[in-house]
């Protein structure tokens, strides 16, 4: 029998060792205040659920530390045992400070109405969270905030310990516990999988691919990340109907690469966003300016892992086109090119090579998913639109109507495709400069397929 309490088994060999992941990711769930339930009952259920998760899944009850960090060496991130927090969850009352639930629901929860500093217990990306004995970096944290006629729950997840699938795995476990159910018999095998050799690194006779475009000078006190004052996060909704229309347009034979067998709905959405983000900028740059589209890939299938595996398995595809090509080419050309690049990249050798590239670099602070990223011309995208079970039943709280990734420090040209509603809509959370947003909002073709929530 595997010793799931042995925390050494959860030290990621490569992909979870990037210093860029020394942050908390956040997911906000919004609920109407359940009829006949008190705040005390809701707090009790959440505390019991989080405590069960931390107890039954030992690494989720741990804290994350960095060992061996020195000049030219970014050290090793690993979970270590710690006492459970004295308070299982953070509790806040913003009845008179945040718009009431009915207002948020009626407006579909625009980011302009979401106060990240109030609704989250710890900062999010890109602000690093430093572990200390006084304020340990617990793997999971949860805050419940009461607003008028509603409840907001923030699920915070330390990013070195897992990607978006792992984060939503935490959410699903809390939901199961709140329904008073036992975790599925097989959950220990998946949630507590040994991570030390999850990916077979390249051997000495296997050439490593070129991943140099992932390197960039590290963010330091001497060279800090400076937020753009002219950039803001927006939610853009693609309904199921409009996604189907875009996929049909992007699948048309005219301009479609004959070597590509098919495109996905995500390919169509990504192509549409890439094209129109660049159209919004084209008058400010020469026509031959090259734009890069960096897109996250889930590597679970490549190494035979089930969707429920919670560790980091992300690698990145990059595609390049000029401003003129993006502005003039039909959507089918861009979408099929994105799919072709994805097919070329989404293979086991690329994943093993990327993991080896990270493992061999002593100072991993020089490596990021986006690397040499120019927000004026490039786009960085990840998609969790198709993840299953992201609107679970939370027992007394019921089933949420919408979720949000809370806005953080503005990072222009980033785009995340999120599940927008239980009905299957997609909410694209994008960060744009004010000039780009003004230009894209004036584009009739964009407005034909996209609803701006805010």
pLDDT tens over the chain, length 454 residues: 679 899 999 999 999 999 999 999 999 999 999 999 999 999 999 999 999 999 999 999 999 999 999 999 999 999 999 999 999 999 999 999 999 999 999 999 999 999 999 999 999 988 899 999 999 999 999 999 999 999 999 999 999 999 999 999 999 999 999 999 999 888 888 999 999 999 999 999 999 999 999 998 876 666 666 778 899 999 999 999 999 999 999 999 999 999 999 999 999 999 999 999 999 999 999 999 999 999 999 999 999 999 999 999 999 999 999 999 999 999 999 999 999 999 999 999 999 999 999 999 999 999 998 888 999 999 999 999 999 899 999 999 999 989 999 988 898 999 999 999 899 999 999 999 999 999 999 999 999 999 999 9
Q: What are phi and psi of 183, to 5 degrees?
A: -65, 145
Count of domains forming the chain: 2
Residues 251 and 152 in one domain: no
Give the pLDDT score at 187. Answer: 82
- Residues 6 or more apart whose CB falls under 8 angstroms from that of 12 comprise 77, 160, 161, 195, 198, 311, 312
- Pairing state of beta strands 402-404 and 90-93? unpaired
Cα–Cα distances in Å, from 78 out to 13, 191, 247, 289, 379? 10, 16, 42, 42, 31
Residue among 154, 134, 135, 136 nearest 144 (CA): 154
Taking Cα atoms as reference points, which of 454, 295, 314 lies closest to residue 383?
A: 295
The reply to whether 251 and 148 lie within a common domain is: no
pLDDT given for residue 188 in this prediction: 80
Is 2 part of a structural domain of the chain?
no
For residues 289 and 430, membership in a common domain is answered with yes
Do both 182 and 234 map to the same domain? Answer: no
In terms of Cβ atoms closer than 10 Å to its own Cβ (0-12, 13-18, 19+), residue 45 is buried
Q: Is residue 49 part of a domain?
A: yes
pLDDT at 223: 67
Helix/strand number for the chain, H first, E second: 12, 14
**Please, which contacts does 239-244 make with residues 24 or more away whose CB atoms are closer than 8 Å?**
239/425, 239/451, 240/423, 240/424, 240/425, 242/449, 242/450, 243/268, 243/269, 243/426
| Coil, strand or helix at 13 | coil
Predicted pLDDT at 372: 86
Are 167 and 246 in a shared domain? no
Same domain as 79, residue 150: yes
136 and 275 assigned to the same domain: no
Q: Is residue 104 located within the same domain as residue 154?
A: yes
Q: 446 lies in a domain?
A: yes
- CB distance 136 to 158 below 8 Å: no
DSSP state letter for 19: G
β-bridge partners, 320: 292
Distance of CA 245 to the CA centre of its chain: 26
> What are the distances in angstroms from CA 116 to CA 25, 222, 406?
12, 27, 6
Is the whole-model pTM more than 0.85?
A: yes
CA distances to 5, 15, 309, 361 from 198, in Å: 18, 10, 11, 19
Element holding 131 (H helix, E strand): none
Range of the domain at 438: 212-217+228-386+410-452
User: How far is it, in rounded angstroms, from Cα 162 to Cα 309?
Assistant: 9
Q: What is the CATH number of the domain that holds 128?
A: 3.30.559.10
């Amino acid at each position: 029998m595997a010793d799931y309490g042995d925390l050494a088994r959860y030290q990621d060999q490569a992909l979870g060792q990037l210093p860029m992941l020394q942050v908390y990711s956040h997911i906000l769930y919004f609920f109407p205040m359940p009829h006949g339930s008190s705040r005390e009952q809701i707090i009790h259920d959440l505390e019991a659920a989080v405590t069960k998760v931390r107890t039954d899944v030992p690494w989720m009850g741990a804290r994350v530390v960095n060992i061996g960090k020195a000049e030219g060496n970014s050290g090793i991130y690993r979970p270590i045992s710690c006492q459970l927090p004295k308070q299982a969850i953070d509790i806040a009352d913003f009845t008179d400070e945040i718009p009431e639930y009915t207002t948020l629901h009626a407006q579909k929860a625009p980011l302009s109405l979401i106060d990240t500093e109030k609704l989250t217990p710890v900062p999010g990306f890109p602000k690093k969270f430093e572990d200390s004995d006084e304020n340990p970096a617990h793997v999971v944290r949860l805050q419940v905030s009461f607003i008028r006629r509603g409840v907001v729950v923030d699920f915070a997840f330390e990013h070195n310990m897992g990607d978006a699938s792992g984060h939503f795995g935490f959410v699903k476990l809390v939901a199961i516990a709140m329904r008073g159910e036992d975790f599925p018999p097989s959950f220990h095998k998946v949630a507590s999988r040994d991570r030390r050799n999850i990916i077979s690194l390249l051997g000495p006779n296997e050439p490593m691919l070129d991943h140099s475009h992932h390197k960039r000078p590290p963010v330091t006190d001497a060279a800090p990340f400076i937020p753009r004052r002219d950039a803001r996060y927006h939610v853009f909704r693609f309904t199921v109907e409009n996604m189907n229309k875009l996929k049909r347009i992007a699948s048309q034979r005219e301009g479609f690469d004959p070597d590509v067998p098919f495109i996905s709905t995500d390919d169509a959405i990504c192509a549409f966003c890439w094209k129109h983000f660049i159209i919004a900028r084209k008058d400010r740059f020469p026509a031959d300016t090259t734009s890069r589209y960096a897109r996250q890939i889930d590597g679970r299938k490549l190494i035979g892992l089930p969707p429920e595996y919670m560790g980091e398995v992300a690698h990145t595809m990059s595609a390049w086109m000029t401003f003129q090509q993006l502005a003039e080419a039909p959507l089918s050309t861009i979408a099929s090119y994105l799919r072709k690049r994805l097919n070329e990249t989404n293979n086991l050798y690329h994943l093993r090579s990327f993991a080896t590239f990270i493992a061999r670099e002593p100072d991993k602070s020089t490596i990021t998913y986006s690397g040499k990223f120019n927000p004026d011309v490039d786009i960085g995208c990840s998609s969790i639109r198709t993840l299953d079970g992201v609107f679970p039943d939370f027992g007394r709280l019921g089933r949420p109507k919408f979720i949000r990734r809370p806005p953080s420090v503005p990072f222009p040209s980033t785009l995340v495709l999120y599940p927008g509603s239980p009905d299957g809509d997609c909410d694209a959370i994008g960060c744009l400069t004010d000039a780009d947003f003004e230009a894209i909002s004036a584009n009739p073709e964009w407005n034909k397929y996209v609803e701006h929530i805010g």
